[in-house]
Amino acid sequence: MPAEAFAADPASNFYVHLYPIHREQFPDRTPGSITVTGKVTVNGSGEPLPGVTVLLKGTTIGTATNSEGSYSLTLPDANGVVISLFVQLNYELEREILGFGDQIKVLGPEKLKRGIKEALCDALDQYNYDTHNANLSSQLKKLQYRGFSILQHVFTRKEMNHVKTLLARYQDQTGKAPDKPVYAIRNVLGVIPGLGNVILNQNLKRILAAIHPELFLTKALYFDKPPASNWYVTWHQDTTISVKEKIQTEGFFGWTRKEGIVGVCPPEEFLKNTVTVRIHLDDTDEKNGALQIIPGSQNKWLSPEEIALITQNTLPFTCEVGCGGIHLMKPLLLHSSAKTVNQKHRRVIHLEFNSMDLPNGLEWAEKMEL
Ligand SMILES: O=C(O)CCC(=O)C(=O)O
């Protein structure tokens, strides 16, 4: 997809607009093809611009606008297509009407560039999500058999910026000194109103429903590794859940209370039923503390000796995830992470989901239905 999605050269009045087109914008398409329609007008007058060439990028498939400035182009349907619109007439193109299927957008001149950019970014993010995650069921099989799966582009840049703004505002309001930046926030959806609406987006809900239709949220944490509060964790499995109150119950042990949150190790079946979703707010790789994991180690609770034996004899996998991507993981998967070494943030929202009710009056601390 082109970064130079909108380019205009005022000297020659030569305009090139490239639009990524997303399949789902064409609900009525016949399988195997997309019909793209549109209209080009001049000088904001509504006067049609005939004879404008509309081409499928990189091909000779194209057409020209008719006497009413309209065009209709049937294109082969891959995961999406890019079209180029060439206007080589000696007019100032102030207004245009773009038609994607039945959807018509009218963009005024002052908003033209911003509007196109935003529409492009959203369409591009959705296009990227679709192309990277076309085969969701095989990605979810990986979660089952290898204990993890990485899905890129689940969130748009706009959504990620929104999340970062909410987090920064929270940090300002809670008065954390800049030299002691926040490295963790417990119950993050509870303490930052509005955050849940952004992160439980349609893409994530669809993924969760495909894993299990009755999943609900049980825990939400925020982690960063800011240079001034950098940290690491050694190899471990996640073996605790958070509950509202301590009630002694058979099979539940290792009770703790941290910042008012009660933690406990539940029977293994609850951990096996848990799905962890780590939403990455920054591009993450081994230089800024990406999670290391041992694929396939998620099937049983391991003793310290077993953990040492496995981690000393297995090459770990580094979970590189882009901003807006998610890392799905089973909590018993062995994982560790190093300090950042490049001064870059590594912000992650860590969510846990489950579909099982707790016994004996115990309640999930942060339960939220989807
Ligand atoms: O985010 C990390 O680097 C590690 C977090 C972790 O170990 C955990 O959630 O158990």
For residue 331, give the ligand 1 atom closest to its CA: 10
Q: How confident is the model at residue 18 (pLDDT cuts 50, 70, 90)?
A: very low
Give me ligand 1 centre to Cα 60, in Å: 51
CB 168 within 8 A of CB 224: no
Closest CA to ligand 1's atom 3: 337
| Residue 118 vs residues 41, 107, 183, 289: alpha-carbon distances, Å | 21, 12, 32, 31
- Percent helix, percent strand, percent coil in the chain, to nearest 5: 25, 35, 40
- Tell me: pLDDT of 91 over 90: no
- Tell me: pLDDT of 158 over 80: yes
Q: Who lines ligand 1 at CB under 6 A?
A: 223, 233, 238, 289, 291, 335, 337, 348, 350
Give me ligand 1 centre to Cα 233, in Å: 7
Convert the pLDDT of each residue in 273-295 to its tens digit.
999 999 999 999 999 999 999 99
From CA 293, how far away is CA 279, in angstroms rounded?
16
* Amino acid letter, residue 2: P
Give me ligand 1 centre to Cα 336, in Å: 7
With 0-12 / 13-18 / 19 or more C-beta atoms within 10 angstroms meaning exposed / middle / buried, residue 346 is: buried
Convert the pLDDT of each residue in 311-364 to its tens digit.
999 999 999 999 999 999 999 999 999 999 998 999 999 999 999 999 999 999
Q: How confident is the model at residue 183 (pLDDT cuts 50, 70, 90)?
A: confident
- Tell me: pLDDT of 26 over 70: no
Write down the domain spans for the chain: 6-132, 136-354
Percentage with pLDDT > 70 across the chain = 70
Give me ligand 1 centre to Cα 69, in Å: 57
Convert the pLDDT of each residue in 137-151 to its tens digit.
889 999 999 999 999
Averaged pLDDT score across all residues of the chain: 79
CA nearest to 131, candidates 78, 206, 178: 78
- Tell me: pLDDT of 370 over 70: yes
CA nearest to 283, candidates 215, 346, 359, 357: 346
What distance, in Å, lies between the first and last C-alpha atoms of the chain?
A: 33
Residue 193 three-state SS: coil
CATH number for the domain running over 136-354: 2.60.120.620
- Three-state helix/strand/coil letters over 104-156: EEEECHHHHHHHHHHHHHHHHHHHHHHHHCCCHHHHHHHHHHHCEEEECCCCC
C-alpha Rg value of the chain to the nearest Å: 25
